[in-house]
Chains A and B, each alone.
Chain A
Amino acid sequence: MQSRKSQVSLYLIFFLLCYLYIWLFVKPHMIYHGFGTIILDIPLFSTGWRFLKNSLGIPGGLVFYAYGFLSQWYYCSWLGALLIVMVALCLCELSRLHYVYAGHHNSTVLHYFPAIMILTIYNNYDHPLPACLTLFIGLLFSFVLERVHLRRGTIRMVVFCLMAAIGYCLAGAGGVLIFSLMKILYLIFHHRDWLSAALTLPAAAAIIWVLAEYVFYISPKQAFLVLTPFCRDLTANMKMLSKVLVVMLYAFVPVTVLLICLWRMLLSRNRDTSAEHTRKKKSRKTRAVVRRRGAILAYFKKFVLPAVPVILMIVGLYFSYDKVHRQIVLMNYLSRQGRWSEVLELGNRLPKNIYNIYCNHDINRALYHAGRLPYDMLCFPQNPHALLLTHEEEESSMTQLKMCDAFIELGNVDYAEKLASEFLVIEGESGIILEKLAWINIIKGQEATARIYLNALKKDLIYRDRAESMLSGLESGFEQDIASYIKRVNSYIRTNGGARLYEESIEEMLTGLLRQNPDNRMAFEYLMACYLLAGQLDNIAANIGRLDQLGYQDVPTLYEEAMLIYFGLRGRELDLNKLNIKRETIERYRRFLQLYNSMQAHNRQVVLQHLIREFGTSYFFYYKFTAS
């Protein structure tokens, strides 16, 4: 009783600590907003029978359905943390029950390992929920089968086959694999039924094959991979540590049970002979030593051992913690929320030696929204591909989502529609993409199509309210600011783009957008940013005249600097009446040239450091040392 009480208290302490850590530090809502981007997979869930029916039509359907539903909980951090802790707790308790059944009656540390592994994976912002659910079903089935007292081997085998078939429908091949492995271990070590043990795996394989062939109509190769750790989708985009931990998670309980059984077998063999033998031979002195050892062991068991899980958890979390990755996840979250000032704040805090193209893209968008892109762009590391994520041959889902947002803002709505539609086809009907498609169609004036997307969006638990409000906006008109946004972006859409492959360059696209609507400020700033990064001074000079029409009060610093270089290189007189360049910028250029020209072989490093300190974020520096 006492032991049970202390076990419960240990559970409470351990999982309460886990809960607080996940809730307050990991923040599961960042996982939710990372679906489809940082976390490649998007758990799909939709209310209604149709989705349930479709889910159950594939092997492991229940796990996928539950995965989709439970993943919505992450939207609220406290609820998401509760879910993660509950899953870890269930696996922890289920492992303990297996260890007890296997003969390890006072497991204090071992059964915490699955929970520690799960928390470590979450600490990396990876998402092992399908693996956890699969493992849970596999372990539960095997435990239930062992608790039902079936004496005859044939009946046991029949029940196993039935449960394996159900297990495959619910948890795929991964669930059946765990179930079968545990069954084999118990058949060998508990029931001494070697024949059944030998038949278990072939029977499980045959069941999977039959179900794949005649129920789910999938290829055997696919069938044997569903929800196993060898299935690529299960660990797609996970960090290596998380991938290893997922495999370990699957293997841990079967391997531990095997070791426990082997240990007990060895122990029982030796007990009869050696115990008798040693008792006779023990002297008084040795008995005292044994007693002392026993006391130390008892102290160790009472005070040290219970602390081990907590220590292991802390060690696991410490070594798996990746500060930079966390900042990247956070930036992704903030940019998806449109919290641009916070994106910039975070961008300033990012280590200067770390570069991530998606962060760079988000920072540029944040700068644009803050009206600072033509001023502060070079305060951050830059890559010409980051502006519109042109770094991939085939767009990844993260690129697709980010580009979709950027293209809608720019007015390149047709291409945004293409990206969003492809995302829909490949990743499924997730709320995030349905909302984008609805906006795209609203902007294009295709309200009937937008309604279909919104009605589908209404089945998403998180996006339901947003869908309702957009539908009512379609019915009775949107609020002033939304209506003007729709009107503005609609005016950007190219009506004379002609027919083409989607292979136009970024420059073609942006100039096309500006041709359609010269008031498209974002297209202008992005076009100028492209020219700045490519060092195309001629093009900057050719487009600088658009500033007046776009309502700029003064010439942005980076453009001023670019124009000074442009005129400087050509040795042409700068007409300050025509182009209102600030006097201090001219002075700074003179100073830069002076320093730059003073650079010799012997003082190169000193001058360079000086230039970096004084002009590191200027276009003068960028042009001289990077662009040209």
Chain B
Amino acid sequence: MAHGLRSRFAVTMLFGSVTIIAGLWFILSSPKAIEKYAEVAVEPRISPDYSDIVIPPNIAPINFRILEQGQQYFTKVHTNSDKAIDIFSKTGQVRIPFKKWWALLRANKGNKIFFDIYVKDAEHGWKKFKSISNTIAEDEIDGYVVYRLMKPVYNWWKSIGIYQRNLVNYDESLLMHGRSFGEGCLNCHSFVGNDPDTMTIGLRSAVYGSSTLLIRNGTVSKIGSKWGYTAWHPGGTLAVYSINKVRQFFHTGRMEVRDVVDLDSALVCYMIEDRKAICPAQLSEKNRLETYPTWSPDGEYLYYCSGPVLWKDRDKIPPENYDKLKYDLRRIRYDAWNNSWGRVETVLSAEETGLSILLPRISPDGRFLLFCMCDYGCFPVYQSSSDLYIMDLSTGRYRSLAINSKYSESWHSWSSNSRWIVFSSKRQGGLFTRTYISYVDDDGMAHKPFVLPQRDPVYYDSLLETYSVPELVSDRVRVSKSLLGRAARNKDSIEVEVPITAATPKAVQSEPWQERE
């Protein structure tokens, strides 16, 4: 017994000593500070590109990887006033400690933040690169972003989920997954402004049919029709959604070979309390395609996109002149008191811009309208020509944002204080969409965007999922996942009769490829 105890003690001591020695070696082998170094006049290459950006004071640490060759790396994160954060690394991966990062950001709102990067190589010793300088904004960003994660889809889908990500840290939690209802598909999600308490999710399933989940203050109801692009009236009493007869087709010899066209589309207005849908004649013109509705923050105007039907045969795919179809930006007055619709006005015409205007979103302060323009058609994600534009609503003047890349930019959303936008961009090679954040200043100038930070600096390097429809919300969406799953599988739903008029699309069929990024 005594012998057994002794040997156990010896083993414990040995193990402890080895651990302590290894720890000491690691600490001692890391230099305390770099005293001798050569200066390099250029900024170091880092991935993701977190240089010259404006960051929110409530964002998670922006971890990155140093792309310069070296054996040891030292990064000093500091402002002009506070104590620096020192990070040593042998791999070049820089993971900034949470608490120190938050303290630094909180204490330095409106100031510059610097990353001093030193790289040691065997031949030349330590080199100090030119400091990377970023700015900490005064304005916070909303706490959460809700997005859909999926692989690039052609005809079939699997494993699609809607997730919410806490921007203050890296916590990503599942909101709903397709496996909850027989590997079904989740479509666009939409909120009333940036409020997480009211939300809709479009569903499609071979087993449970197509429907929409309406989430209000933690309760879930199932509406028996699938909503397309949805815009909630700021009052939360009605939602306008599109019904689209979408078809997919393909190109050859292009980076993005996929393309889609709405053979027919219209807008439908759903009154939440009455559980009734109406199809205003102005929003469902027979010879026009209406889509992408969005409300002005005061709820007086509904903005939407509208393009002419350029084909006679509404079943031919791709239809004739599909590449000449360009959407105008229109608006219509809505009188909430009388529940009546006014006259349609063209805000910006495709004739004037020469491009197709899509996805309008108005800042919550009502000053700016952010939208996409691309060469043609209705789906900017598949168009590398798609860029973001901003319009000053007081003057009607618009311009392209400096943050655009040569790849597609789309799916943008405003923060509740109108100072931040998140959007999807394919700038990491042209295929995979990632979520980018950009600061918009008082003059409507968007600053250099940065990709949504992740704990793992190389996270995006091998990620085969695309981020789709990122929506900023002020808080966590608090709804039970099992409740959502049960509602999706529920056979009972609120039946919605879409009033059939001559303008109503002939068939709004569910087909697998309608799942788009």
Contacts and interface: CB of A to CB of B under 8 A. Distances in A.
Interface string A448-467: 11011101101100000000
A512 to B, nearest CB: 8
5 contacts: A213-B482, A217-B174, A217-B176, A421-B153, A446-B429
Among all A-B residue pairs, the 6 with the closest Cβ atoms: A448-B429, A497-B252, A455-B462, A495-B253, A449-B429, A456-B462
Interface string B480-504: 0110111001000000000000000
Most buried by B among A217, A449, A493, A494: A217
Contacts of A5: none
Contacts of A571: none
A342 interface: no
Given A418-B257, A451-B429, A496-B253, A425 B317 contact: no
A426 interface: yes
A498 interface: yes
A25 interface: no
Interface string A389-428: 0000000000000000000000000100110011011100
A405 B57 CA distance: 50
B179 A493 contact: no
Given A219-B182, A453-B464, A500-B249, A425 B153 contact: yes
A421 B253 contact: no
A485 to B, nearest CB: 19
A452 B429 contact: yes
Contact of A501 (B159, B317, B323, B485): B317
Contacts of B154: 418, 421-422, 425
Interface of B: 151-159, 174, 176-177, 179-182, 249-255, 257, 259, 317-318, 322-323, 428-432, 458, 460-464, 481-482, 484-486, 489
A35 B91 CA distance: 35
Nearest to B177: A217
Most buried by A among B174, B254, B259, B460: B254
Contact of A219 (B156, B181, B484): B181
B65 to A, nearest CB: 12
Interface in A193-224: 213-214, 217-219, 222
A217 B162 CA distance: 13
A428 B254 CA distance: 25
Interface in A484-505: 493-502
Interface in A158-217: 213-214, 217
A217 B463 CA distance: 24
A429 interface: yes
A417 to B, nearest CB: 7
B156 A500 contact: no
B428 A448 contact: yes
Given A425-B154, A501-B317, 20 more contacts: A58-B179, A213-B485, A217-B484, A219-B180, A219-B182, A414-B250, A421-B152, A421-B153, A425-B157, A426-B158, A429-B464, A444-B255, A452-B429, A452-B460, A456-B464, A459-B462, A495-B252, A498-B251, A500-B318, A501-B249
A371 to B, nearest CB: 28
Contacts of A499: 249-251, 259, 318, 322-323
A425 B432 contact: no
A71 B254 CA distance: 37
Contacts of B323: 499
B386 to A, nearest CB: 17
A497 B251 contact: yes
Given A449-B430, A497-B252, A214 B153 contact: no
Contacts of B151: 421, 424-425
Contacts of A417: 257
B464 A424 contact: yes
Contacts of B458: 455
Most buried by B among A426, A456, A495, A499: A499
Contacts of A456: 462-464
Given A214-B482, A217-B482, A452-B432, A497 B253 contact: yes
Contacts of B462: 452, 455-456, 458-459
A219 B482 CA distance: 9
B356 to A, nearest CB: 16
A493 B482 CA distance: 48
Contacts of A213: 482, 485-486
Contact of B158 (A425, A449, A495): A425
B463 A452 contact: yes
Contacts of A451: 429, 461
A452 B250 contact: no
A406 to B, nearest CB: 17
A76 B464 CA distance: 28
A414 B484 CA distance: 38
B252 A494 contact: yes
Contacts of A58: 179
B426 to A, nearest CB: 9
Contacts of A452: 428-429, 431-432, 460-464
A414 B156 contact: no
A120 to B, nearest CB: 32
A422 B181 contact: no
A218 B174 CA distance: 13
A425 B180 contact: no
Contacts of A455: 458, 461-462
A495 B259 CA distance: 16
Contacts of B484: 217
Contacts of B251: 414, 497-499
A494 B257 CA distance: 12
Contacts of A502: 250
Most buried by A among B174, B179, B257, B463: B257
Contact of B257 (A218, A414, A449, A496): A414
Interface string A9-30: 0000000000000000000000
B432 A414 contact: no
Contacts of B155: 418, 422
Given A499-B259, A499-B318, A217 B180 contact: yes
Contacts of B250: 414, 418, 499-502
Contacts of B253: 414, 493-497
B182 A222 contact: yes
B100 to A, nearest CB: 24
Contacts of A222: 179, 182
A422 B177 contact: no
Contacts of B461: 451-452, 455
Nearest to A445: B255
B149 to A, nearest CB: 11
Contacts of A421: 151-154
Given A446-B255, A498-B251, A501-B317, A218 B180 contact: yes
A447 B482 CA distance: 42
Contacts of B249: 499-501
A442 B411 CA distance: 28
Contacts of B252: 414, 493-498
A494 B460 CA distance: 31
A453 B151 CA distance: 12
A446 B256 CA distance: 11
Given A425-B156, A496-B253, A502-B250, A218 B429 contact: no
A429 B152 CA distance: 12
A319 to B, nearest CB: 38
Contacts of B153: 421, 425
Contacts of B259: 499
B436 to A, nearest CB: 16
A444 B256 CA distance: 11
Contacts of B317: 501
Contact of A449 (B157, B176, B180, B431): B431
A414 B428 CA distance: 20
Contacts of A217: 174, 176-177, 179-180, 481-482, 484-485
Contacts of B431: 441, 446, 449, 452
Contacts of A453: 464
